[in-house]
Amino acid sequence: MTLLDGLATSRQIKTEIALSVEKLVREGGRPPHLAAVLVGDDGASLTYVTSKVKSCEEVGFRSSLIRKDDSVSEAELLELIAQLNSNDELDGYIIQLPLPKHVDEKKVLLAIDPRKDVDGFHPENVGRMVLGLPCYLPATPGGIIELLRRYQVPTEGMHCVVIGRSHIVGLPMSILMQRNTIPGNCTVTITHSKTKGLDELCRQADIIVAALGRPEFLKGDMVKEGAVIIDVGITRVPDSTKKSGFRLLGDVEFSSVSPKCSFITPVPGGVGPMTIVTLLQNTLQARLGK
């Protein structure tokens, strides 16, 4: 069994990005600039955004963190987005989800300039991804593809089962895995809460991407020998033995699944670091494309 080490791989990619930024600045250019908009004080979102800002510093990017209260109106948020769209010194930005219930997330995401949509959620980028055109890939699926590429995980002709159909992970992952590329060329089955016979479908899969947000859902008896397992889930579970008061669990029961795998991602340290580094790659792409 080979552990797909997203932490080590992300460090390698950060080194490559830092060298590109160093060359850009040495030649008289300004460094890439990434902004993050955080609405409210959700602990998990704040931790995630803070790690993005720290990663920017590590590779030589400029970064901005824009915080707004939960009470921010939809109109105020849309006005902020208009300002970010028109800022020529800003290469890309993200709106950290989820947003308060009184704000229409779709309206907000549609307002983002696709050229600065380094999260890859705007319909223009999604459409270009479907057509195989140059675009910003959604950060988590893009990170998974890069991890598979760097570990040379065989995918051609394989049966890939994706558990979850979210627009952030499941749906784009299913598109990327079936494209005529390497990694890719899979036969893909996308499953969800209404899927019948999910256990049997998983047992037939050569590759499983678990992205449903239910801790330790995928058990050892649902996986065949030699399968490749990508665990996208990350859930905080109370744990009084930890200083933080919680521990992190993925969607895969690692203890029962890992002995049967050819490749598997850990939680934490698997997909998470690759998500952040893909965001950095997208921002560098935005900067160099100007």
Q: Which CATH superfamily is domain 139-271 in?
A: NAD(P)-binding Rossmann-like Domain (3.40.50.720)
Q: How many Cα atoms within 13 Å fall on the side-chain side of residue 140?
A: 21
pLDDT band at 91 (very low <50, low <70, confident <90, very high): very high
14 is catalytic: no
Is the pLDDT score of 241 beyond 90?
no
pLDDT tens-digit series, residues 35-53: 999 999 877 788 888 889 8
pLDDT bracket for residue 190 (50, 70, 90)? very high
Among 14, 96, 206, 231, the one annotated catalytic: 96
Domain with CATH 3.40.50.720 in the chain: 139-271
Give Cβ neighbours of residue 47 (< 8 Å, ≥ 6 apart).
none
Q: Which among 134, 138, 133 is positioned nearest to 122, based on CA atoms?
A: 138
Over range 247-258, report the average pLDDT: 96
**Catalytic residue chosen out of the listed positions 52, 117, 251, 281:** 52
- With a CB cutoff of 8 Å and minimum separation 6, the contacts of 116 are 84, 85, 90, 91, 92, 93, 286
Full-model pTM: 0.95
Decide if 152 is catalytic. no
Q: Is the per-residue pLDDT at 290 higher than 80?
A: no
**Residue among 186, 130, 133, 129 at smallest CA distance from 161:** 186
Question: For the segment 151-176, what is each residue's pLDDT rounded down to a tens digit?
Answer: 999 999 999 999 999 999 999 999 99
For domain 29-114, the CATH superfamily is Leucine Dehydrogenase, chain A, domain 1 (3.40.50.10860)
pLDDT surpassing 80 at residue 7 = yes
pLDDT recorded at residue 273: 95
The angle subtended at Cα 249 by Cα 105 and Cα 276, nearest 5°, is 50
Q: Tell me which of 5, 91, 117, 119 is the catalytic residue.
A: 119
What rounded mean pLDDT belongs to the chain? 95
Kindly tell me if the per-residue pLDDT of 31 is higher than 90.
yes
Assess whether 96 carries a catalytic annotation.
Answer: yes
